[in-house]
Structure 1
Amino acid sequence: MTRLSVLDLATVAAGRTSADALAGTTRLAQLADRLGYHRYWVAEHHNMPMVAATSPPVLIAHLGAVTRRIRLGSGGVMLPNFPPLVVAEQFAMLEALHPGRIDLGIGRAPGTDPATAAALRRGAGQLGVEDFPLHLLDLLSLLGDPRTDDGGLGARFRATPAATTAPTVWLLGSSGYSAQVAARLGLPFAFAHHFGSPHTEAALDLYRSGFTPSRVLSEPYAIVTASVIAAGDDEEAEWLAGPSRVMAHGLRTNRLGPVVTPETAQRLLADIGGPPAGLPGTQVTGTGEKVADALRELARRTAAQEVMVTSTVHDPAVAERTLELLAAAWGLSPEPAVEDRAG
């Protein structure tokens, strides 16, 4: 059975605060854990008014303390922003705190504008994207998986003094380049289909055709992401998807702001003549059964072993209801209620 997981951007809604957004993420992760979703990833974005998730390791540590069984990870850490040793130490510590539950998803884009990226790196010339493969090899070696003749940084440094397990390293991407790097290194690969890319199948074909077995993975393993909203009926789901489509337009026109209400979204979309072409915001809407069917078809078409869903909404209760409806339609195994565990 295809696994089902969650990606959370910790979006900030109009009229609410970053604290509200992170409290919503906490509740959503706990719900996903109880419902039987396989993993829960949080993203990294900087200097964006609609995203509170600036530090995945900090947020993952918090979520690990309030969940029981779900895997937790980054979707992802943008490696050009940080020295590999820093990332390795952070995730080695997370793995020590929550052994067997930590994923380190790595991206090669900065996840922000050039000025913010330069501020993060304390200089525009440091840790450029062009050096990504070398920094990735160093990161792998620091986590006990050397890929160079001299062992990389792992030959001289330790990410943690006495590790017994290591986080699972994933490569994230939205292009054929990332797919080929993941294949060459024998890493699991997550494709950002929720970006609306038309190249999902081509990238995954590159990944599978070029895959080289490694000490961490014997055969290809792929996740595809999708932006979804499930509701009681199709009309309600479409209405609730309005805020994501306004955000998509804001990203295209560089007019960024908090996630608006469905009522405000309807007015704004009418002003611009409807949802922006090529940037659908929410890709799949409808009842739980309709969304589940669409995701199963996506998994079939892409041959992905796992589908990861994300929802851009103004009200966190909409994201929670989406996970509940989708879990029921997918046939996930929820954790027994507290009063039933003794039996």
Structure 2
Amino acid sequence: MLPLSVLDLSFVNAGATPADALQDSLALARHVDGLGYHRYWLAEHHALASVASPAPEIMIGQIAAATRYLRVGSGGIMLPNHAPLMVAERFKLLEALFPGRIDLGLGRAPGTDGITARALRRREVPSEGDDFLDRLQELLLWGGGGFPPGHPFGTITVMPAGVPLPPVFLLGSSDYSGALSARIGCGFAFAQHFGSSDAAEVLRAYRRQFQPSRLGERPHAILALAAVCAETDAEAERLAMSARLATLRRERGAYGPIPSLAEAENHPYTESDRLRMERGRARLHVGSPETLRAKLTALAAEAEADEIMIVSSIHDQAARRRSYMLIAEAWGLSVRPDPGDRSG
């Protein structure tokens, strides 16, 4: 079976605090480390009441230190918010501390609203435009030491020296990032959980167009999707009500904490609400272990994916951890020794 991985947005739950959400992320990472999951990626969002972590590089260090087997990375660093040199420094530092376990996933969006994005970038002229490609090129030059002779940046040493930049992945929900990933020869992760483009079409195109480079000899396509698993289809549908209500509210601009199951069950849905949630079913995969195994296997085969990455916004943390456990068991992942036991 394909590797399974986790995408964690550090969702804030109704009745809990953002600090609780960060601790929940650490607990979930330790949990899936022993279940056989391959990667654990952290997202970057700003000024959203529903997401606790604006700094994936800090969470990466904490989670890598608390786990033993997982590759830990960013899903992703929103590059327009950051100086490329600082990204190179921070991820080389992480790679030095946890060699062979760090990934650098990069996104084009700001991960926030326009006003907050402007505050992050300190742009006084909004018409400066999208400089993602310039920042990406500069970051790759910092990583490869390839500034041309005479370039003023050529005299700068990116510390820690002698440490490579971790593997680079571009993230996206359209064919733009897929085509760019193929052109520069890096990995690509498609966000099926919120993308409007056809995941299979985009990932297959990425694979066909891939050009080997120093970033990668072969394509690596990750299909990121939302899933909720429980012992039965009916119980999984019940647990998914919190995520469905949260999505409904986000579509209307309300980025609040993930509602409790009781709140979701008792919400006064209109007929329009129910139609919107029904249309969103293709983005949230729900069911028993057997149901989800069949769904995810079919999706991965159609998209020619190399890996599946799962995000789950279940309100109850015990149920969330159990969801990942049931999926791992159905997928046939091998349970690993206790990550706390360093004797092996």
The TM tier, using the shorter chain, reads: over 0.9
* Corresponding residue number in structure 2 for 1:87: 87
Give the aligned partner of residue 17 of structure 1.
17
State the partner residue of 1:319: 320
Q: Is contact 2:42–2:60 with CA below 8 Å preserved after alignment? A: yes
- 1:44 alignment partner, SS class: coil
Closer, same or farther: CA 127–317 of 1 in aligned 2, 3 Å: farther
Give how far 1:331 is off. 0.8
CA distance in 1, matches of 2:340, 2:133: 50
Post-superposition shift, 1:157?
2.6
Structure 2: 5+ residue stretches without partners: none
Quote the offset at 1:196 in angstroms: 4.7
- Counterpart code for 1:71: R
Q: Which residue of 1 aligns with 2:175?
A: 176
Contact (CA 8 Å) 2:173, 2:197: kept in 1 or not?
no
What is the TM-score normalised by the length of structure 2?
Answer: 0.92
TM-superposition CA deviations, 1:212-267 (whole Å, max 9, x none): 11123112110001100110111110010011111111121112211101121122
Aligned to 2:7: 7
What's 2:246 paired with?
247
1:66-81 correspondence to structure 2 within 5 Å: 66-81=66-81
1:183/1:212 contact within 8 Å kept: yes
Q: What are the within-5 Å matches in structure 2 for residues 241-280 of structure 1?
A: 241-268=240-267, 270-271=269-270, 273-274=273-274, 275-280=276-281
Q: Which piece of structure 1 moves more, 207-216 or 329-338? A: 329-338
Task: Confirm or deny: 8 A CA contact 1:141 1:152 kept in the other structure.
Answer: no
Give the number of equivalent residue pairs. 342
Distance 1:228 1:126, change over 3 A: same
The alpha-carbon distance between structure 1 residues 260 and 100, as it changes in their structure 2 partners (threshold 3 A), is same
Aligned mates of 1:70, 1:13 — CA distance in 2 = 25
CA contact (8 A) 1:76 1:104 kept: yes
Indicate conservation of the 8 Å contact 1:141/1:151, yes or no.
no
Q: Percent identity?
A: 44
Amino acid at match of 1:174: S
Partner of 1:27: 27
Shift of 1:205: 2.8
Cα drift, residue 329 of structure 1: 0.7
Contact 1:246 1:269 in 2 (8 A): no
The one-letter amino acid of 1:224's match is L
In structure 2, the residue matched to 1:299 is 300
Structure 1, unaligned runs of 5 or more: none
| Contact 2:236–2:288 (8 Å) recurs in 1 | yes
User: Scaled by the length of structure 1, what TM-score is found?
Assistant: 0.93
For residue 103 of structure 1, report the CA deviation from its aligned partner.
Answer: 0.4
The alpha carbon displacement at 1:130 in A equals: 2.1
Alignment of 1:59-208 (within 5 A): 59-125=59-125, 130-144=130-144, 146=146, 155-208=154-207
What is the CA–CA distance in structure 1 between the aligned matches of 2:108 and 2:339, rounded to whole Å?
42
1:310 aligns with 2:311: yes
SS in 2 for 1:5: strand
Instruction: Specify the code of the residue in structure 2 equivalent to 1:323.
Output: Y
Distance of aligned partners of 1:61 and 1:339 in 2 relative to their CA distance in 1, 3 Å threshold: closer
Kindly provide the amino acid, as one letter, of the partner of residue 296 in structure 1.
Answer: T
Amino acid at match of 1:158: T
Using the alignment, how far apart are the partners of 1:45 and 1:339 within structure 2? 30
Q: What is the aligned-residue RMSD (CA, Å)?
A: 2.4
Residue 224 of structure 1 pairs with residue 223 of structure 2: yes
Are residues 257 and 287 of structure 1, via their aligned partners in 2, closer, same or farther at CA, if it must alter by over 3 Å?
same
Indicate conservation of the 8 Å contact 1:22/1:52, yes or no: yes
